[in-house]
Amino acid sequence: MSTGTLLAIIIPVVVVVAALVALGWYTARRRRLRERFGPEYERTVEDAGSQSAADRELSAREKRHDALDIKPLSPSARDRYAHDWQKVQGEFVDHPEDAVQEADLLVTSLMRERGYPTDNLTQKLQDLSVEHGRTVEHYRAAHDVNERSRRHTASTEQLRGAMVHYRALFDELLSDGGPRHART
């Protein structure tokens, strides 16, 4: 067999193998991002306009998140936050709007102590989505109701739902790096 014939066979085979390897890598990456980000993946695809753009966005979030100094809470800090949550939750019966606003402040304080930046809502949501992709939507929903409650346009049922949403993220943030907080 001549060198030209061998090259005519080898080059297309190498190109096909390289394409299959690249496709496999992209597919595995997309699957990993979908699993890690959960519902946040589809939201990002919708916002970004394509899966490739969403994949780039979520990978950038991961890199940013990896640069953060996210740390677990000490047992005493976990106990303090759990106690503070009980107080906020108890306030809901008599002052639901105040309780929702305090729940937002408590979640923000917990995020800050864990090492998450808390200055910008969009950045907070993006940073949280990396490790808390399945509960970040709870935070979005609760924050929206909190904004309505500041204008006194949220119903008591919406406020109750916001407390449930805040609690989902609160429990997840509280338990990371330590024993799961027992619900009371």
Helix (H/G/I), strand (E/B), else coil: 60: helix
**Interval 128-149: pLDDT, tens:** 888 888 888 899 999 999 999 9
> Which has more pLDDT, 113 or 23?
113
Res 169 pLDDT > 80: yes
Residue 76 clears pLDDT 50, i.e. is over it: yes
| Token pair in block for residue 73 | 């809470």
Amino acid at 56: R
% of residues, the chain, pLDDT over 70: 96
Identity of the highest mean pLDDT range in 44-58, 97-111, 117-131: 97-111
Higher-scoring residue by pLDDT: 4, 84: 84
C-beta of residue 161 within 8 angstroms of C-beta of residue 101: no
pTM attached to this predicted model:
0.76
C-beta of residue 41 within 8 angstroms of C-beta of residue 58: yes
Rounded Cα distance, 142 and 2, in Å:
71
Crossing angle of helices 121-131 and 136-150, rounded to 10°: 150
Residue 179 has pLDDT above 80, yes or no: no
Residue 178 has pLDDT above 50, yes or no: no
| Confidence tier at 177 by pLDDT (50, 70, 90) | very low
pLDDT given for residue 19 in this prediction: 87
Confidence band for 164, pLDDT divided at 50, 70 and 90 = very high
- Which pair of tokens denotes residue 121? 């809502």
Say how far apart CA 117 and CA 124 lie, in whole Å.
6
pLDDT for the residue 171: 94
Q: Alpha-carbon distance 166 to 52, whole Å? A: 31
Structure tokens at 82: 């759990």
Residue in 50, 45, 51, 14 with CA at minimum distance from that of residue 29? 51
pLDDT in the model for residue 180 = 40
Let me know: does 40 contact 133? Beta carbons within 8 Å. Answer: yes
Structure tokens belonging to residue 93: 């019966």
- How high does pLDDT run on average in the chain? 88
Per the CB < 8 A criterion, the answer to whether 114 and 78 are in contact is no
Q: Note the helical H segments in the chain.
A: 3-37, 39-48, 51-67, 75-91, 96-114, 121-131, 136-150, 156-175
